[in-house]
Structure 1
């Protein structure tokens, strides 16, 4: 059997999770997932910049005089 403080803590956590979760999938994301083409372009730009940066830096260093 749980003591009062453990029961109170469980109720607080349960209520926090229930009240702070959005009802719609993707509602709590910092970007819009409704437009597939914009989402694809944003993913390509985000991951492409991280993947391409070392190659661009290397090219810049090799072309420097």
Structure 2
């Protein structure tokens, strides 16, 4: 019983050690995001374009289909 518990504990420690070594970014908020958060006006503009394109796409597609001959 103690052998299985010890192996599980060692495995858990090695997994966490590798996660901290390879996956940790130092705890800086936003460092692991795929976009830059330093310029908030650029970030706002990009979010408006991204969200706006998703919301407007069905309406533009419907308009295109209705205007086709």
Please classify the TM superposition score into its range, dividing by the shorter chain length: 0.7 to 0.9
Could you list the runs of 5+ residues in structure 2 that have no partner in the other structure?
A: none
Structure 1 stretches of 4+ moved >6 Å: none
> 1:12: how far off?
2.1
**TM superposition score normalised by structure 2:** 0.80
Output the CA distance in 2 between the equivalents of 1:42 and 1:53.
16
**TM superposition score normalised by structure 1:** 0.84
Paired position in structure 1 for 2:67: 63
Could you list the runs of 5+ residues in structure 1 that have no partner in the other structure?
A: none
Paired position in structure 2 for 1:45: 49
How much is the aligned-residue C-alpha RMSD, in angstroms?
1.6
Paired position in structure 2 for 1:17: 19
Aligned length: 65
